[in-house]
Amino acid sequence: MSRYDRIDTKLVHAGEPRPRIGGAVTVPIFQTSTFEQDSDTPYDDIRYARLSNTPNHDVLHAKLAALEGGEAALVTSSGMAAISTTLLALLRPGDHLIAQRCLYGGTHDLVTKDLADLGIEHSFVDGDDVEQWARALRPTTRAFYCESLTNPLLEVADLPSIVGFCQSHGLVSVIDNTFTSPVCFRPLEHGFDVVLHSATKYLGGHSDVVAGAVVGRSDVVEHVRQKLNHLGACLEPFGCFLLHRGLKTLALRVRHQSGTASTLAHFLSKHEAIATVYHPSLATHPQQARARALFDAMGGVLSFTLKDTSVPVERFIRKLDLPVYAPSLGGVESLITRPARSSHAGLSAKAREELGISDGLIRLSVGLEAASDLMMDLHQALDPSEDERTT
């Protein structure tokens, strides 16, 4: 299989059992908690669903490792399970973590509350400010945590410099690759040690499964796997099946969504009712050159603000026909949300303002609808003369 290095082929074929199980073209769901053992089965070879070693887990692990170019992978019961289990495997009380500012809300709370309760310290830094990283460094610093594209402003940190910084200071570099997916960006190819995913988003891709993934070197993934066995956040067999099924179309979906997101970003940036648009495909994006150098596609999420701040954002969102007003991203249906009310609701208004997340900011996760239909829908919802429209 390693002969075929295109991601489209890997999505379909990598990790699939040969010979196929019972001749089945797709891997059947092994809806069983435990498996028969022989009298001489070594303890480590016992198959049990919590140990993430059923055939449904095995195929996903091999496929995800191939997609990200890692030695090994592990699936978990959610993206937060991947993140918390990995950080708990890497960090001990007294250790220190450097983390990019503006993390996913759940990760931010994990670091500032749960890890802090355990005596694991942290410093938040700007993803672009190398000198700030050096000032944050302590003798106890163990790891650097960042995201490939930040939520909701779609910023791209100086990822190559983060890798270099970690290598020169003996830190583990950890990156949440949820927003880009391996179709747009493969951090391990750029020297990152550990890649994390909320597979709930693009990897699953159909808004019907909550799952997570960890990919990296075998020794690191094995360490996380042991922690996961103890903490128990395994992905159950039906979740494995849904994730496996969703993954096969990842490249088609993400390329299409990235293309539509770029089209909509350009359309919105020229629209008179729009103040600012955030998407790495735009010339106005501060790290467009970096995104182009690192990413194969720019991702399917964009954010924007309305020019007229007296227009209630809720009214605009309610006027849209197609995007579903819901948190999350990466599904086949477009999803629209207000980060100040969802992913970043836990932060104080002041903290949000410092991060540049205004109350009026709108985030759109582009689905698989026709770009022209999404454009038509945005156009009618932005048209003030339509405000009296009855629905």
Q: Which of 173, 198, 207, 281 touches ligand PLP (CB under 6 A)?
A: 198
Enumerate long-range contacts of 111-120, CB under 8 Å, 24 or more apart.
111/87, 111/145, 114/84, 115/87, 115/91, 118/93, 119/93, 119/94, 120/87, 120/91, 120/92, 120/93, 120/94, 120/95, 120/96
Stretch that binds ligand PLP, among 172-180, 241-249, 258-266, 286-294 (CB under 6 A): 172-180
Query: What secondary structure does DSSP assign to 190-257, as a single string?
Result: GT-SEEEEETTTTTT-SS----EEEEE-HHHHHHHHHHHHHH--PPPHHHHHHHHHHHTTHHHHHHHH
CB of 114 to ligand PLP, least distance (A): 14
| Residue selected from 52, 85, 141, 151 as contacting ligand PLP according to rule CB under 6 A | 151
Helices within the chain (DSSP H only): 7-13, 55-68, 79-90, 105-109, 116-117, 130-136, 159-169, 181-184, 218-231, 237-247, 250-269, 288-294, 313-319, 349-355, 371-382
- 210 lies in the binding site for ligand PLP (CB under 6 A): yes
Beta carbon nearer to ligand PLP, 65 or 329? 329
Cα–Cα dist 77/384, whole Å: 44
Number of C-alpha atoms within 13 angstroms, CB side, residue 384?
10
Q: Which stretch binds ligand PLP (CB under 6 A): 134-142, 194-202, 214-222, 243-251?
A: 194-202
Give the integer Cα–Cα distance in Å for 179 and 46: 35
Please tell me whether residue 78 binds ligand PLP under the rule CB under 6 A: yes
Per CB under 6 A, the list member of 55, 106, 164, 286 interacting with ligand PLP is 106
By annotation, the residues acting in catalysis are: 50, 104, 176, 201
145 in contact with ligand PLP (CB under 6 A): no
Q: Quick one: which segment of 101-109, 111-119, 272-280, 296-304 binds ligand PLP (CB under 6 A)?
A: 101-109
Question: Rounded CA gap, 352 and 101, in Å?
Answer: 11
Asked if 212 interacts with ligand PLP (CB under 6 A), we say yes
Residue 86 interacting with ligand PLP (CB under 6 A): no
The residue whose Cβ lies closest to ligand PLP is 79
Give the shortest CB-71-to-ligand PLP separation in angstroms. Answer: 23
CB 246 → ligand PLP: shortest distance, Å? Answer: 13
259 is a contact residue toward ligand PLP (CB under 6 A) = no
Distance between CA atoms of residues 1 and 379, nearest Å:
47
* Residues in Cβ contact with 186 at an 8 Å cutoff, skipping those fewer than 6 apart: 67, 68, 69
Give least dist CB 286 to ligand PLP, A: 20
- Give the residue with the Cβ less far from ligand PLP, 84 or 287: 84
Least gap, CB of 80 to ligand PLP (angstroms): 4
Candidates 104, 144, 192, 304; binder of ligand PLP (CB under 6 A) is 104
Q: Which residues form the interface with ligand PLP (CB under 6 A)?
A: 78-80, 104, 106-107, 147, 151, 176, 178-179, 198, 200-201, 210, 212
